[in-house]
């Protein structure tokens, strides 16, 4: 069933995003409509975290199957290939072993500022099979990959103003190798990548809390997140940036290579739970209502930032 969901969001006026702090001149409450199929993205998580994908370990048949699944969904959702056949292969060495990984990169062309890019990312790899147990990685990070599909569906009826790269990175679990390769071998000049929105573990939290990391490094992002009106099903928090006494997530996922190049980022994620990097990170342990609202929140924040010229 197609769900139409509305969130109340404070829009920021007279503000541009940049390396220096900007002053908030005015804010108003508006409603941002968007559409995506909530049932479908839950099915995507269930599928990608099923035993058939064998934990999606980089370089395995399970990872190959996941890669092909993402390409199939991108094609169905009218996402253009950013690179030939959507695939950016790379090789790297980690833990004394050489791996071959593949980033899956899709493109939605911007309607107003096509020369400038926002990268929305999520890693699709996980831990694979260890000690004859499959680590399915439902929250880590089938949840983020399924959210990429929700974003793509949203764009079918709400084309972005900036060009958007939908990046499903490989080998995050092996030292962020996929995102490091993407940034180090950028296909567009890095100065044209204006923002990275990274999603890694957004599918469950006992307290219905979702963190946005990255606001400590950019006052405009801090203003936008501060002015977001939380829905009753979710509390959006800032932190985990090395400045608040909490665990520092600044370099913990695929946003790190962007941050190292001084590209603004927002990383959306939840606190570690008991099934983190355990074979029990299964679809059955997801929190569907929280997850859908988390995706809604991320899309709403993207819509606010995309409306800014930066």
DSSP state of 79: P
For the CA atoms of 33, 39, 41, 47, the dihedral, rounded to the nearest 10 degrees, stands at 180
Mean pLDDT of the chain: 90
Write the pLDDT tens digit of every residue in 134-143: 999 999 999 9
Under the banding of pLDDT at 50, 70 and 90, the label for residue 26 is very low
Name 111's Cβ contacts closer than 8 Å, sequence gap at least 6.
159, 160, 161
Nearest CA to 74 out of 66, 43, 3 is that of 66
Per-residue pLDDT at 33 exceeds 50: no
Per-residue pLDDT at 180 exceeds 90: yes
Per-residue pLDDT at 23 exceeds 70: no
DSSP state of 138: I
Predicted TM-score (pTM) of the model is 0.90
Tell me if 49 sits within 8 A of 136, measured CB to CB: yes
Nearest CA to 298 out of 191, 169, 165, 203 is that of 203
d(CA 126, CA 61): 13
Domain positions in the chain: 3-306
More confident of the two residues 79 and 8: 79
Quick one: angle between helices 143-157 and 61-76, nearest 10? 10
Tell me if 211 sits within 8 A of 270, measured CB to CB: yes
Per-residue pLDDT at 29 exceeds 90: no
Average confidence (pLDDT) over 19-30: 32
Nearest CA to 301 out of 207, 198, 209 is that of 198
d(CA 249, CA 67): 26
Give the total residue count for the chain. 310
CATH superfamily of this structure's domain 3-306:
Zn peptidases (3.40.630.10)
Per-residue pLDDT at 53 exceeds 70: yes
d(CA 282, CA 254): 22
Q: Please report, for residues 49, 53, 148, 172, the alpha-carbon distance to residue 133 in angstroms, rounded to integers and kept in the order given.
A: 13, 13, 27, 20
């Amino acid at each position: 069933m197609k769900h139409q969901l509305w969130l109340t969001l404070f829009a920021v006026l007279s503000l541009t995003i940049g390396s220096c702090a900007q002053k908030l001149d005015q804010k108003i409450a508006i409603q941002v409509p968007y559409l995506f199929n909530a049932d479908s993205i839950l099915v995507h998580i269930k599928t990608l975290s099923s035993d058939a994908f064998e934990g999606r370990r980089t370089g395995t048949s399970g990872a190959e199957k996941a890669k092909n699944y993402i390409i199939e969904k991108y094609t169905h959702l009218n996402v253009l290939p950013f690179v030939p056949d959507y695939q950016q292969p790379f090789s790297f060495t980690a833990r004394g072993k050489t791996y071959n990984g593949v980033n899956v990169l899709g493109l939605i062309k911007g309607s107003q500022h096509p020369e400038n890019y926002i990268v929305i990312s999520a890693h699709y790899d996980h831990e694979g099979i260890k000690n004859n147990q499959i680590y399915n990685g439902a929250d880590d990070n089938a949840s983020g990959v399924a959210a990429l599909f929700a974003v793509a569906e949203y764009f079918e009826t709400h084309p972005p103003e900036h060009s958007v790269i939908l990046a499903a990175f490989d080998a995050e679990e092996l030292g962020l190798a996929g995102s490091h390769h993407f940034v180090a071998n950028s296909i567009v000049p890095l100065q044209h990548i204006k923002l990275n929105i990274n999603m890694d573990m957004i599918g469950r939290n006992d307290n219905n809390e979702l963190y946005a990391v990255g606001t400590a490094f950019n006052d405009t992002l801090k203003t936008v997140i501060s002015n977001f009106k939380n829905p009753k099903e979710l509390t959006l928090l800032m932190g985990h940036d090395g400045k608040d006494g909490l665990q520092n997530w600044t370099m913990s996922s695929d946003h790190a290579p962007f941050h190292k190049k001084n590209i603004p980022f927002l990383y959306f994620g939840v606190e570690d739970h008991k099934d983190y990097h355990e074979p029990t990170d299964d679809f059955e342990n997801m929190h569907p209502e929280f997850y859908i609202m988390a995706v809604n929140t991320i899309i709403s924040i993207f819509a606010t930032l995309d409306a800014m010229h930066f």
